[in-house]
Amino acid sequence: MEGTSIVPDPAAPPTPPVPLAALLAREDLGLRQIAGPAPADEPTMILWAHTSEMADPYPYLLGGELLLTAGVHATEAAGTGSYFDDYVSRIVEAGGAALGFGVAPVHDTVPRALIAACDRYGLPLIEVPPRTTFSAVARAVWGLMAQVRHAELRRVTEAQQGLAVAAARPDPVPAVLRQLAQRLGGWSVLFAPDGTEAATAGRPPTGEALHALSKLAGVVRPAVDTGTGRAASGPGESPGKRSPGTRPSSAADTVSGTHLTAYALGGGQGFTLGIATDRREPGDHTIAGVAVVLLSLLTGEHEGTTGTARSTALVRLLLGAAAEEVAPLLGGERWVVVHARPDSGSGTRGQGSGTSGRRGGTEGACGATGSEPGGRAADTAAAISTIGAAGAMAAPGAIGTAPAGTATAGAATDPVSAAALGAALGTALVDAHDDVVRLLVPADHQVTAQPGWTLGVSAPSGAHELAVADTQAARALTRALATRSALVPHSDRSGLAALVPQDEADAHARVLLAPLTGTPQGPALTETLRTWLSLHGSWDRTAVALSVHRNTVRQRIARCAALLDRDLDDPDVRMELWFALRQTGQS
């Protein structure tokens, strides 16, 4: 049994390697293998092509290269000593996949000593004819990689669509497992929190591999708090205590030629997904990741916050019930609002370049995570939005939507990625709105930074204060984007402002800011001024936070100075304006 390894978590399937045999089959290149193991006996896979005339290319190789050389570094006397033995051994030591030797203009033929060295070290040696340039060989390698990549992305896209459709069936969990086993060509199993097999699909592995997979699932399975029935943050935790997670979210092993992988599911129930396959393709981890998200949502429905309860909460809100009355139906009375935005290039947008092919199949996944008509995810998003609206009506002056300029209107975040974020934070209450995801997280859950996301977190609040918490989270996200921080919590600091009577402070703030708030551009100007002041007058950081050009920031600040008739370079003026903005709820 090989050592257990932690599975990487790529945003998209990596570029698959291409077989050397496919390159040799290109008649236009005229390549010929003259040494090393035959492709039929031992397939050689190439990750990229690299040209080097260094006598020792070891420091410049990453592994998996087809190294191309014309032998400029090899003198006529090189064939009489151990030169080529040393040269080839260094390539093999660096992990080079094959060596391509260009005939002419330096050497008329491939040196015999080089051929013998490649045979001794098992390194495939390719003869490159004079008419074929190294650029043509490299271009052919990239072309073959593009073909394999396209085929792999198409496979991943079709698998995502199939899994999303399976999640909408009346028996979603078995259907997802069957679809996963079919797509990966193996066996899939859902382990219950006690380690028993809750559901399986596909052809089971041998007894040894089956036992090893069960043990592997135990590596990633979180300890379950017997007092609450929820997964604890770390093994051996007592109720009410929290420590940093010590268990990986996924692990892999190989037993008797069978590839085993285990994934911990979100939702706090302690379920794990096990997969056993005879082979492992580059896109398998991405396909399994989609299944993990869907199964996390489906198994999470065993908690008190069921789809029916969320639907009930939504109906009651629409019929006029107060937010605080329906909050217990959603699993808690105090909440933290989280605003999340995917990092640039993280592959979480629905209309991306196709790195994961999600646009085609995940639209249904968001509304198909259960068997109720309409889908639970739709109820979740509607409940979050309606609670925010209800809270705004209950709290005069509260702002229930993100302020202008906190994020540019862009493509909606991929629902599967948003659901995955919710599972990671331990909540099913997710609203993917444009390029910002809003989440309601129970106040007793710890919100931690998540790879690929920038988070703004509000202070804990009751249901009647969620609109204010929504604004706090939006402000925190704006600051996180400006400071390039992975997570920024809301900070409600007290100070000199608390010494001024509330009504007098409010009146002074309204009068001071009236020249701004009384104009059609008031919201944009006020928000720009607030952000600019919070970032100590930095034009560039303010532009990043508001997603506008720095010249736009300069124009708006100049307009603010003109309307207020104040010198914004004066620190006293800045301090007074900052207190006024805080007092009116704009900070």
Give the domain CATH number at 513.
Answer: 1.10.10.2840
Helices (H), 403-501: 415-425, 466-483
> Could you tell me if residue 6 is inside a domain?
no
421 and 326 within one domain: yes
What's the confidence (pLDDT) of residue 282? Answer: 76
Determine, yes or no, domain membership for 312: yes
| Pair 160, 356: CB distance under 8 Å | yes
Clarify whether residues 335 and 394 are in a common domain: yes
- Give the span between the Cα atoms of 339 and 409, in whole angstroms: 15
User: Is 221 domain-assigned?
Assistant: yes
Residue 5, phi then psi, degrees to nearest 5: -125, 150
**Which pLDDT band holds residue 89 (cuts at 50, 70, 90)?**
very high
Q: Which residues contact 34 (CB under 8 A, 6 or more apart)?
A: 110, 115, 125, 126, 127
Residues 329, 425 within the same domain: yes
Confidence of residue 452 (pLDDT cuts 50, 70, 90): confident
| 12 located within any domain | no
Higher pLDDT, 463 or 190: 190
Indicate if 363 and 507 belong to the same structural domain: no
Of the pLDDT bands very low, low, confident and very high (cuts 50, 70, 90), residue 350 is very low
Q: How confident is the model at residue 116 (pLDDT cuts 50, 70, 90)?
A: very high
Using alpha carbons, select from 245, 248, 226, 223 the residue that is nearest to residue 236. 223
| CA pair distance 453, 486, nearest whole angstrom | 7
From CA 12, how far away is CA 393, in angstroms rounded?
43
The verdict on 250 and 281 lying in the same domain is: yes
Model pTM greater than 0.85? no
Q: Is the pLDDT of residue 439 over 70?
A: yes
Flag whether pLDDT at 416 surpasses 80. Answer: no
Q: Which of 134-143, 323-332, 353-362, 378-387 is most confident?
A: 134-143
428 and 400, same domain (yes or no): yes
| pLDDT over threshold 60, residue 451 | yes
Q: What is the pLDDT of residue 575?
A: 87
Which domain does 513 fall in, by range?
496-583
CATH of the domain at 171: 3.30.450.30
Q: Report which residue type is found at 106.
A: V
Structure tokens at 65: 């290269």
Instruction: Give mean pLDDT, residues 439-452.
Output: 85
Tell me: do 119 and 223 sit in the same domain. no
Q: What is the pLDDT of residue 141?
A: 92
Domain membership of residue 98 (yes or no) is: yes
**With 0-12 CB in 10 A as exposed, 13-18 as middle and 19+ as buried, what is 62?**
exposed
CATH for 62? 3.40.1390.20
Encoded tokens for 298: 């489906």
Task: Specify if 236 maps to a domain.
Answer: no
Whether 1 is in a domain gets the answer no
3-state secondary structure of 154: helix
Over residues 308-338, the pLDDT tens digits come to 676 777 777 777 777 767 777 776 678 899 9
Of residues 4 and 113, which shows the higher confidence score?
Answer: 113
pLDDT for 401: 37
Q: 462 and 572 in one domain? A: no
pLDDT in tens, 183-227: 999 999 999 888 888 889 998 888 888 889 999 988 888 765 544
Whether 323 and 450 share a structural domain = yes
Given 489, 511, 545, the domain boundary residue is 489
DSSP percent split of the chain into helix, strand, coil, nearest 5: 45, 15, 40
- The SS3 call for residue 510 is helix
**Any domain includes 210:** yes
| Average pLDDT of the chain, as a whole number | 77
Candidate ranges 36-45, 92-101, 421-430; pick with highest mean pLDDT: 92-101
Buried b or exposed e, range 193-222, using 16+ CB within 10 angstroms: beeeebbbbbebbeeebbebbbebbebbbb
**Same domain, residue pair 253 and 335:** no
Structural domain ending residue among the three candidates 96, 131, 166: 131
Q: Are residues 417 and 472 in the same domain?
A: yes
Note whether 459 and 579 are same-domain residues: no
Closest CA to 285 of 156, 191, 145: 156
pLDDT grade, residue 134 (50/70/90)?
very high
Write out the two tokens for 396: 């005069």
Give the per-residue pLDDT at 79: 63
Task: Specify the DSSP element, H or E, that contains 254.
Answer: strand 250-255
pLDDT in tens, 291-311: 998 888 887 644 444 566 767
What's the Rg (C-alpha) of the chain? Answer: 30
User: 98-102 and 125-128 as β-strands: parallel, antiparallel, unpaired?
Assistant: parallel
Looking at the 3D structure of the chain, how many domains does it have?
A: 4
How many residues does this entry show for the chain?
A: 587
Q: How far is CA 3 from the centre of its chain?
A: 27
